[in-house]
């Protein structure tokens, strides 16, 4: 048990938690925007895996991590157009469409990867980590928290920016109104459909970026189903932060640590059945939902279609 308190275990657990948590921050932030506008984006997992494949192809094609991340983000946004057209514009069931998007994206990416890359399994360019001066020199905590690719630090900036937009701008007020009182937004001269469209496209962009991060910064290659349920975890995180998006950072890193526990235990020389460790994040999700689920903030019009003619 001494290995559980060793420096190598704690350092690797924190570092792995950040790497595994960053995609949850991006996707959870996007889901928080979508839910605040009244759209339950169950297709988040599909947008993430689409972004992962798009980022993989972009990273290989341009030999650039940043261009790969941009390609992944754009792929996620393109996939989110299905949610916009079918749910926001045509008022289809958001849960059914979201599940269809996820299943479709998983199938298409697995098919394309098998047809093009199954024989070679190429790897994307190696990322360059940036250590923050002084902070990265802190014993144990420093290397794990302050020595990562720039896109990891960008996630924190995005969270702070979105938090400010939602709380302090007219755009944020419109997004909140679209989720809580859509008819009041229309009465005040706003456009519910346009607001929800922008929110869902933003969700797809962030989810795609998070999916691309998994491949380009984390794994270094794409395999089918590489997101491994992170989109669904991000949906839960967005609900549990109760509209306070800054808390997504803490929640995502904590869940990221549970996802990275296998590697940390191996480095510390601790032998625990891998199946037991792999199920830990999902057990943790169930426990958290049971304890905090009733107090989660959900907009009044969440998952409810809006029809102008009925108001």
Residue 5 pLDDT exceeds 90: no
pLDDT for residue 141: 81
Q: Residues 9-20: pLDDT tens digits?
A: 777 788 888 998
Tell me what the mean pLDDT of segment 133-147 comes to: 84
pLDDT for residue 286: 75
Tell me what the mean pLDDT of segment 153-166 comes to: 95
Q: Which of 47-51, 164-168, 208-212, 249-253 has the lowest mean pLDDT?
A: 249-253
Q: What average pLDDT does the chain have?
A: 88
Confidence of residue 309 (pLDDT cuts 50, 70, 90): low
Tell me what the mean pLDDT of segment 149-176 comes to: 94
Q: Which of 13, 16, 47, 38 is nearest to 234 (CA)?
A: 47
Residue 294 pLDDT exceeds 90: no
CA 212 → CA 64, 74, 178, 206, distances in Å? Answer: 12, 10, 29, 10
pLDDT for residue 1: 47
What is d(CA 236, CA 302) in angstroms, rounded to the nearest whole number? 14
What is d(CA 14, CA 18) in angstroms, rounded to the nearest whole number? 6
Domains, the chain, in order of start with CATH, read 15-118+146-295 (1.10.3470)
Place of tokens 């950072």: 249
Confidence of residue 263 (pLDDT cuts 50, 70, 90): low
Q: Residues 57-68: pLDDT tens digits?
A: 999 999 999 999
Highest mean pLDDT range out of 1-5, 22-26, 141-145?
22-26
More confident residue, 6 or 97: 97
Q: Residues 96-105: pLDDT tens digits?
A: 999 999 999 9
Q: Which of 87-91, 150-154, 276-280, 303-307 has the lowest mean pLDDT?
A: 276-280
Confidence of residue 40 (pLDDT cuts 50, 70, 90): very high
Q: Which of 224, 206, 107 is nearest to 165 (CA)?
A: 206
Confidence of residue 6 (pLDDT cuts 50, 70, 90): low
CA 199 → CA 5, 9, 10, 103, 186, distances in Å? Answer: 43, 40, 38, 22, 16
pLDDT for residue 136: 83
What is d(CA 30, CA 91) in angstroms, rounded to the nearest whole number? 21
Residue 300 pLDDT exceeds 90: no
What is d(CA 89, CA 83) in angstroms, rounded to the nearest whole number? 9
Percent of the chain at pLDDT exceeding 70: 88
Q: Which of 197, 226, 204, 221 is nearest to 47 (CA)?
A: 204
């Amino acid at each position: 048990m001494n290995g559980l308190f060793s420096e190598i275990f704690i350092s690797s657990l924190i570092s792995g938690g950040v790497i595994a948590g960053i995609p949850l921050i991006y996707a959870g932030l996007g889901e928080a925007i979508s839910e605040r506008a009244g759209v339950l984006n169950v297709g988040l997992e599909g947008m993430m895996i689409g972004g992962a494949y798009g980022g993989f192809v972009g990273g290989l094609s341009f030999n650039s991590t940043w261009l790969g991340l941009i390609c992944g983000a754009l792929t996620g946004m393109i996939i989110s157009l299905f949610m916009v057209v079918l749910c926001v514009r045509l008022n289809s069931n958001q849960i059914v469409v979201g599940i269809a998007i996820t299943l479709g994206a998983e199938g298409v990416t697995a098919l394309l990867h098998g047809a093009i890359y199954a024989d070679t399994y190429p790897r994307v360019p190696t990322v360059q980590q940036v250590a923050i001066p002084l902070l990265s020199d802190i014993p144990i905590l420093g290397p794990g928290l302050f020595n990562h690719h720039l896109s990891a630090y960008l996630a924190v900036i995005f969270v702070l920016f979105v938090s400010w937009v939602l709380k302090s701008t007219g755009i944020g007020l419109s997004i909140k109104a679209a989720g809580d009182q859509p008819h009041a937004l229309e009465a005040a001269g706003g456009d519910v459909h346009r607001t929800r469209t922008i929110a869902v496209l933003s969700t797809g962009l962030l989810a795609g970026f998070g999916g691309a991060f998994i491949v380009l910064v984390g794994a270094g290659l794409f395999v089918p189903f590489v997101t491994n349920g992170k989109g669904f975890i991000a949906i839960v995180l967005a609900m549990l932060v109760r509209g306070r998006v800054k808390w997504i950072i803490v929640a995502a890193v904590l869940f990221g640590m549970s996802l990275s526990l296998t590697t940390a235990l191996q480095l510390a020389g601790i032998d625990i059945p891998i199946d037991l460790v792999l199920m830990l994040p999902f057990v943790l999700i169930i426990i958290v939902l049971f304890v905090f689920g009733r107090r989660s903030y959900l907009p009044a019009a969440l998952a409810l279609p809006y029809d102008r003619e009925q108001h």
